[in-house]
Structure 1
Amino acid sequence: MSEPEPRRLEVSASLESVEDIYAFLGESLSFPSYFGFNLDALYDCATSDICQPVCLVWPRNWECGNPYLYLNAMKLLGVLMDAAAENPNLKIEVVD
C-alpha cells in the first residue's frame, strides 16, 4: 500500500508580519489552542502535532520587502526544517 500524498499548504508571500505567519501555521496545521507564537513552540508542535502528511510550500522571498520579516521568516523556516528532519509527516518545499 502506498503512502498518501501529503496535503500541500502554501505559505503566502503576502503575509505582512511574523505574527501573521505564526497564526497561519497554527490554524492551518491545527496546532493546539495553547500554541505560543515562538520558535520553541513551533518546533514542539511541528514535531509532535502533525500526524498526517503535509508539505509546507514556503516562499523564498516576501512581497513586502521588509528585511525584518525576511530574517524572521528564515528563522521560522530553519525551525520547520529541523522539525521535518524529526517528523516524517512534515515536508518543506521552498519556492521562488
Structure 2
Amino acid sequence: MSKHHTVVLHDIRSMDDVYAQLARQLPLPAHFGRNLDALFDLLTADLEGSLTLNWPDAADARPYLGADRHAALLTTLRDAADERDDLHLRIG
C-alpha cells in the first residue's frame, strides 16, 4: 500500500521557508537541492505515494518572495501536479 503525504505550507516569507517546511513534512532524499528544479524532481519522481499540498495563504507570500519567484514556485507546483494524477494542490 502506498503512503499518502499531506503538506501544509504557511507563513512563507522566503524560499528557505518553503524548503524547511517541506523537509519537516516529507521524507526528502539526501540529494535534495534547495531549488525549483530539485523541487520538481522531488514531486514528480523522488516522492513515493500520493501527495496533497495545501498552501492556503499563498497570496500572502507574494510580497515576500517577489512576484517572479512566487510565480515560478506556483508554476513548478502546478507543472508537477500536471505530471502525476496523485498530486493534489490546494492553493489559496
Which of the five TM-score ranges fits, normalised by the shorter chain? Answer: 0.7 to 0.9
Q: 1:26 to 1:78 in 2, by over 3 A?
A: farther
> 2:83 corresponds to which residue?
86
- Stretch moving more, 85-94 or 23-32: 23-32
How far residue 53 of structure 1 moved from its aligned partner, in angstroms, is 1.7
Larger Rg: 1 or 2?
A: 1
CA shift in 2, pair 1:56/1:93, >3 Å: same
Alignment identity in percent? 34
Structure 1 regions of 5+ residues with no counterpart? none
Q: How does 1:1-96 map to 2 (within 5 A)?
A: 7-12=5-10, 14-58=11-55, 59-62=57-60, 67-71=63-67, 72-95=69-92
Q: State the Cα deviation string for residues 30-70 of structure 1 (Å, max 9, x = none).
A: 1212211111111111101222222111233226xx62415
Unmatched 5+ stretches in structure 2: none
Alignment CA distance shift 1:55-1:86 (3 Å): same
Mapped to 2, the partners of 1:50 and 1:89 lie a distance apart of 11
* TM-score normalised over the length of structure 1: 0.74
3-state DSSP of counterpart to 2:60: coil
CA RMSD of aligned residues (A): 2.2
CA distance in 2, matches of 1:55, 1:11: 11
- For 1:77, give the aligned amino acid: L
- Structure 1 position 75, deviation (Å): 1.6
